Chain A
Amino acid sequence: MDYLWVLLPPLLQGAGVTLQVFFITLVLSLPLGLALALLRLSRSASVSGLVNGYIWLMRGTPLMLQMLFIYFALPFVPYVGIRLPSFPAAIVAFSLNYAAYFAEIFRGGIQSIDRGQYEAAKALGFSYAQTMRRIVLPQVVKRVLAPVSNETITLVKDTSLIYVLAMNDLLRAARGIVQRDFTTMPFIVAAVFYLLMTLMLTVGFQWLEKKYSVYDE
Chain B
Amino acid sequence: MTNKQMISVRDLHKRFGTLAVLKGVSFEVALGDVIAIIGPSGSGKSTLLRCLNRLETIQRGHIEIAGEVLATTGADGVCRYAVDAEARRICRRMGMVFQQFNLFPHRTVLQNIIEAPMTVQGLSRAAIMPKAEELLRKVGLFEKRDSYPALLSGGQKQRVAIARALAMAPDIMLFDEPTSALDPELTGEVLRTIRQLADEHVTMLVVTHEMSFARDVSTRALFMDDGEIVEAGAPAEMFSHPKHSRTQAFLEHIL
Contacts and interface: CB of A to CB of B under 8 A. Distances in A.
Interface of A: 114, 116-117, 119-120, 122-127, 130, 134-135, 138-139, 142, 214-217
Interface stretch (B7-15, B61-69, B115-123, B136-144): B115-123
Nearest to A119: B55
A18 to B, nearest CB: 35
A123 B55 contact: yes
B105 A119 contact: no
A120 B164 CA distance: 10
A123 B89 CA distance: 11
B168 A124 contact: yes
Interface stretch (B73-81, B93-101, B182-190, B196-204): B93-101
Given A119-B55, A130-B119, A142-B106, A124 B165 contact: yes
A117 B164 CA distance: 13
A123 B95 contact: yes
24 contacts: A116-B100, A117-B102, A119-B55, A120-B96, A120-B98, A122-B53, A122-B55, A123-B53, A123-B55, A123-B91, A123-B96, A124-B92, A124-B116, A124-B120, A125-B116, A125-B121, A126-B120, A134-B115, A138-B106, A139-B105, A215-B105, A215-B106, A215-B149, A216-B151
Contacts of A116: 98, 100, 102
A124 B164 contact: yes
Contacts of B149: 215
Contact of A126 (B119, B148, B151): B119
Contact of B104 (A127, A135, A214): A135
Contacts of A124: 92, 95, 115-116, 120, 164-165, 168
A124 B95 CA distance: 7
B150 interface: yes
B120 A125 contact: yes
Nearest to A130: B119
B91 A120 contact: no
B192 interface: no
Contacts of A138: 106
